[in-house]
């Protein structure tokens, strides 16, 4: 340890003599390592950290797909779930059905999120409540079990963290329940929800009210299921066995015609939860890794220049007995000291900025609440610091160990021609690599910028100005006799009363109601449902799929969405008239491109229970999903012909959000005080939120690219500045022989521009290959977009030109007589 301690002391003394060099290096390292730690913290929490359940790798999500109709995750029927339970593939299977609910019993009705599960849900996951008990398989009842488990957040929000909450009675959708447990604060349902964390878990047998009894195989009411693989069954084996099960069931029951293509799909729970963000986060992690490489190259270039200036010191140390390896170890020690200091500063900054980091992350990224720095981040900081120190320290260390002793002793300042040329070549190679990596990041950022511009610049099919959206939940009690809106006339009457009351609210120009799926930019894909087009002989069965919703007559007027063909809904499109629908242009493009859609019939359901509806209008495409996704085929019903319990409100008004919320709550309360109003916000905000993930990726990638560009410019600046300092006498001779300042400037900047051009060429070739990995993140732009690949080298060469000209101008201002005397 004695030599190591000696090296450390010497390194600290040496670095203390160059505070400017140390400050610049530490700042660069802190930014490079800090950016990597920040992204690693997110990736670690979302992708790498195991789910907080027992043996998470044994738990899977189970989906039903209708491949023949082009519908994924089409929902599951209760008999299908029972088939899974008997398949022998799983030790336990639980339904998962997140729904809205109205929580009563307080001074106002609050909308909450309720998750209906099978009784074995908590046993399947292997989790226990922090207070009380969880329901279990022994609590199975045909309908809903009376005991419920609540979240820590609801316990604190509604019950003030009362430790005596167990046994309290609550009402959810008018049904009485008893609280039997409270989950820990760090537990969240490991799956999709409607619009937030689960507040209440409730168990059901799904074979009695409010569900069909006996259950219907063709009724896909369950969004999906989770299962724990049986002992000895791998996920690949589960896929194979479920494939055979699906084939057997399809041959046994008429509900699975061949052209429907029904099949079962299995994914690990972790993959199902994070699959849609995995590629984005991995790409960001790779990009920030490139930034760290550029930082290493930049710092290595600084160390190389510093080593060149210390060549006499190294020569003297060799002359008095220091070996080449000894000098190498000393320089590596100096690099590691700086790297560890930079890593420590990065950890401190990350700790201080962790809250700001989490606030930047889009809320639709799963497991956001679990993002925090822990021992793995500290370990990552240590590993990154060690790797960084070795990367930027090894080149100057090897160069110092190969020093020519005679030249070093003769050369007082390390300006020997051979030594300088060798160092300059190495610096040029390093900076070229830096430029190539910068081009990679600039190309990626350019593609994302172009994609973002396409997403926000597209036509959303509506006018978002002065448009406010909200949601109303109509309770659905488990016992039908408690439901005031259990039949069609009462639901249609509710819709009529709500529209009439909201239409007279002060400041409201237009108002419309629709199903949740009719909300613009709701940032949640709906499940496509199959249908048939009976006028096509080859498509008699349900081998088409589209999204379905219901809207009131003024829906398109309120959105200012044009009707391209046919007519809009009217108040006469009610239960006393034939059922009609309006389809969007995406529907026409996919299913009726060669036929006039007006008058065509869409057949829903299966024989003998089929229902025909007629197309009476074609609307412009409304972007119901995220702005950066293509518009899907959509079929609109009249709300008076298909009233629902999950209502979306759209108001065309000049009121602000708070005033609109107050007015809306009052209007709804006048109709029914048991109806909660929630998610009141502008459509502009909804559209912005729908591309929050893309904006987040764009911000980070642009920041990485800008950092890389700045570091590359500094590297090029350093190459030219060093070249000018070494060639002052040459430039003086050129000037005395008649060379103009422009001629001298051209010669001075040539090395920097050559390095930039070589690096840009290598980077462009690499970018043409690497950017193909971005395909999943692009919208409306090719991974080889010509505009981007022309703009990137142009920007880089422009920046490189500025970085070259600034030090190059010094060469034109050298006084020949002073330079020749060695005074300049």
Span 176-217, pLDDT tens digits:
999 999 999 989 998 888 878 899 999 999 998 888 888 888
Which of 139, 425, 412, 150 lies closest to 304, judged by CA?
425
Higher confidence at residue 528 or residue 500? Answer: 500
Q: Please say if the pLDDT value at position 823 is more than 60.
A: no
Q: What is the pLDDT of residues 425-450, one digit of tens each?
A: 777 788 888 888 889 888 988 888 88
Residues, the chain: 824
* β-strand partners of 92: 228
Which of 288, 290, 285 lies closest to 433, judged by CA?
290
Q: Please say if the pLDDT value at position 477 is more than 60.
A: yes
Average pLDDT value for residue range 102-108: 71
Average pLDDT value for residue range 663-671: 92
Own/partner contacts of 783-790, CB < 8 Å, gap of 24 or more, are 783/447, 785/446, 785/447, 785/450, 787/450, 788/443, 788/446, 788/447, 788/450, 789/443, 789/764
Q: What is the pLDDT of residues 784-818, one digit of tens each?
A: 889 999 999 888 888 888 888 887 777 677 666 66
Average pLDDT of the chain, as a whole number: 84
Backbone conformation region of residue 164, classed left if phi is above 0, alpha if psi is from -120 to 50, else beta = alpha
The predicted structure's pLDDT at residue 89: 93
Residue 107, both tokens: 């001074």
SS3 21: helix
**CB 256, CB 249: distance < 8 Å:** yes
Q: What is the pLDDT of residues 393-403, one digit of tens each?
A: 776 666 655 65
Q: Please say if the pLDDT value at position 78 is more than 60.
A: yes
Question: In the structure, what pLDDT confidence band is assigned to residue 151 with cuts at 50, 70 and 90?
Answer: very high
Q: What percent of the chain has pLDDT over 90?
A: 32
Residues 87, 228: Cα–Cα separation, whole Å: 12
Question: In the structure, what pLDDT confidence band is assigned to residue 819 with cuts at 50, 70 and 90?
Answer: low
Q: What is the pLDDT of residues 283-325, one digit of tens each?
A: 888 888 888 888 888 888 777 767 666 666 666 666 665 666 7
Higher confidence at residue 460 or residue 93? Answer: 93
Report the Cα–Cα distance between both ends of the chain, in Å, rounded.
46
Residues 376, 383: Cα–Cα separation, whole Å: 10
Question: In the structure, what pLDDT confidence band is assigned to residue 416 with cuts at 50, 70 and 90?
Answer: very low
* β-strand partners of 646: 473
- 3-state SS, 659-683, equals HHHHHHHHHHHHHCCCCCEEEEEEH
Which ranges constitute the DSSP H helices of 504-602?
555-559, 585-591
Higher confidence at residue 20 or residue 308? Answer: 20
Q: What percent of the chain has pLDDT over 70?
A: 89
Which pTM does this prediction carry? 0.79
SS3 740: coil
Q: Please say if the pLDDT value at position 510 is more than 90.
A: yes
**CB 136, CB 149: distance < 8 Å:** no
Q: According to the per-residue pLDDT averaged within each range, which of 48-52, 84-88, 528-532, 809-813 is highest?
A: 84-88
Q: Please say if the pLDDT value at position 500 is more than 90.
A: yes
For 693, which DSSP code? H
Q: Please say if the pLDDT value at position 481 is more than 90.
A: no
SS3 247: helix
- Catalogue the E-assigned strands of 424-562: 467-473, 508-515, 529-531, 544-551
Q: Please say if the pLDDT value at position 550 is more than 90.
A: yes
Question: In the structure, what pLDDT confidence band is assigned to residue 821 with cuts at 50, 70 and 90?
Answer: low
Q: Please say if the pLDDT value at position 121 is more than 80.
A: yes
Maximum alpha-carbon separation in the chain: 106
Cα distances (angstroms) measured from residue 604 to each of 543, 641, 789: 11, 15, 49
Q: What is the pLDDT of residues 331-382, one digit of tens each?
A: 788 888 888 888 898 888 888 777 777 778 887 788 877 777 777 888 888 8
Average pLDDT value for residue range 208-233: 88
CB atoms within 10 A of CB 30: 21
Residue 46, both tokens: 């979302």
Q: Please say if the pLDDT value at position 726 is more than 50.
A: yes
């Amino acid at each position: 340890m004695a030599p190591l301690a000696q090296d450390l002391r010497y390194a600290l003394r040496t670095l203390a003599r160059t505070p400017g060099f140390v400050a610049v290096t530490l700042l660069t390292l802190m930014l490079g390592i800090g950016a990597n730690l920040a992204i690693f913290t997110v990736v670690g929490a979302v992708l790498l950290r195991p789910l907080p359940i027992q043996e998470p790798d044994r738990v899977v999500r189970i989906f039903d797909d209708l491949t023949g109709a082009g519908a994924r995750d089409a929902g599951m029927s209760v008999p299908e779930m029972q088939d899974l339970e008997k398949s022998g593939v799983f030790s336990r299977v639980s339904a998962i059905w997140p729904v809205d609910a109205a929580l009563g019993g307080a001074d106002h009705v609050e909308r909450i999120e309720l998750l209906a599960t099978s009784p074995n849900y908590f046993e399947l996951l292997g989790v226990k409540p922090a207070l009380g008990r969880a329901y279990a398989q022994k609590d199975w009842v045909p309908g809903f079990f009376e005991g419920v488990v609540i979240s820590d957040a609801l316990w604190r929000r509604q019950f003030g963290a009362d430790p005596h909450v167990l046994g309290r009675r609550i009402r959810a959708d008018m049904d009485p329940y008893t609280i039997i447990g409270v989950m820990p604060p760090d537990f969240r349902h490991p799956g999709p929800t409607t619009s937030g964390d689960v507040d209440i878990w409730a168990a059901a047998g799904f074979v009695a009210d409010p569900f069909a009894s006996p259950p219907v195989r063709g009724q896909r009411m369950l969004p999906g299921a989770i299962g724990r693989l049986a002992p000895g069954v791998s996920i690949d084996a589960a896929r194979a066995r479920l494939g055979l099960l699906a084939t057997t069931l399809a041959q046994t029951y008429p509900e699975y015609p061949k052209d429907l293509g029904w099949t079962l799909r299995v994914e690990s729970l972790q993959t199902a939860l994070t699959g849609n963000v995995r590629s984005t986060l991995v790409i960001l992690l790779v990009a920030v890794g490139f930034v760290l490489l550029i930082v290493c190259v930049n710092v290595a270039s600084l160390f190389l220049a510093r080593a060149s200036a210390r060549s006499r010191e190294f020569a003297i140390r060799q002359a008095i007995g220091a070996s080449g390896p000894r000098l190498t170890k000393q320089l590596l020690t100096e690099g590691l000291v700086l790297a560890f200091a930079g890593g420590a500063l990065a950890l401190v900054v990350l700790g201080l900025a962790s809250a700001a980091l989490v606030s930047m992350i889009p809320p639709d990224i799963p497991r956001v609440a679990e993002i925090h720095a822990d021992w793995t981040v500290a370990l990552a900081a240590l590993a990154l610091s060690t790797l960084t120190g070795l990367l930027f320290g090894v080149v100057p260390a090897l160069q110092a160990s190969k020093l020519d002793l005679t030249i070093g002793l003769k050369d007082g300042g390390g300006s020997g021609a051979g030594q300088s040329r060798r160092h300059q070549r190495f610096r040029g190679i390093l900076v070229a690599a830096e430029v190539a990596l910068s081009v990679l990041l600039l190309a990626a950022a350019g593609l994302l910028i172009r994609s973002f511009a396409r997403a926000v610049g597209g036509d959303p099919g509506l006018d978002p100005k002065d448009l406010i959206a909200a949601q109303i939940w109509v309770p659905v009690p488990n016992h039908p006799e408690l439901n005031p809106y259990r039949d069609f006339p009462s639901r249609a009457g509710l819709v009529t009363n709500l529209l009439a009351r909201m239409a007279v609210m002060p400041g409201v120009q237009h108002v419309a109601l629709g199903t949740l799926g009719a909300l613009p930019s709701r940032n949640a894909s709906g499940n496509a449902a199959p249908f048939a087009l009976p006028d096509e002989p080859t498509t008699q069965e349900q081998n088409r799929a589209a999204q379905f919703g219901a809207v009131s007559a003024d829906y398109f007027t309120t959105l200012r969405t044009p009707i391209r063909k046919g007519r809009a809904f009217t108040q006469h499109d009610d239960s006393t008239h034939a059922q009609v629908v309006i389809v969007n242009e995406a529907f026409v493009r996919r299913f009726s491109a060669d036929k006039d859609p007006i008058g065509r019939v869409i057949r829903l359901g299966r024989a003998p229970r089929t229902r025909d509806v007629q197309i009476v209008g074609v609307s412009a495409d409304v972007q119901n999903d995220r702005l950066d996704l293509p518009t899907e085929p959509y079929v609109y019903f009249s709300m008076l012909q298909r009233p629902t319990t999950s209502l979306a409100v759209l108001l065309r008004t000049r009121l602000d959000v708070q005033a609109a919320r107050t007015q809306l709550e009052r209007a709804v309360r006048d109709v029914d005080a048991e109806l909660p109003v929630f998610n009141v916000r502008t459509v502009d905000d909804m559209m912005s939120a729908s591309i929050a993930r893309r904006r987040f990726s764009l911000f980070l990638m642009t920041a990485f690219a800008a950092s890389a560009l700045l570091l590359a410019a500094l590297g090029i600046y350093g190459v030219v500045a060093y070249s000018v300092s070494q060639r002052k006498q040459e430039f003086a001779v050129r000037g005395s022989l008649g060379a103009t300042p422009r001629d001298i400037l051209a010669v001075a900047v040539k090395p920097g521009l050559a390095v930039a051009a070589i690096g840009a060429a290598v980077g462009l070739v690499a970018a043409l290959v690497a950017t193909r990995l971005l395909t999943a993140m692009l919208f409306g732009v090719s991974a080889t977009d010509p505009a981007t690949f022309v703009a990137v080298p142009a920007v880089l060469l422009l920046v490189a030109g500025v970085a070259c000209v600034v030090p190059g101008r010094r060469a034109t201002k050298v006084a020949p007589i002073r330079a020749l005397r060695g005074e300049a």
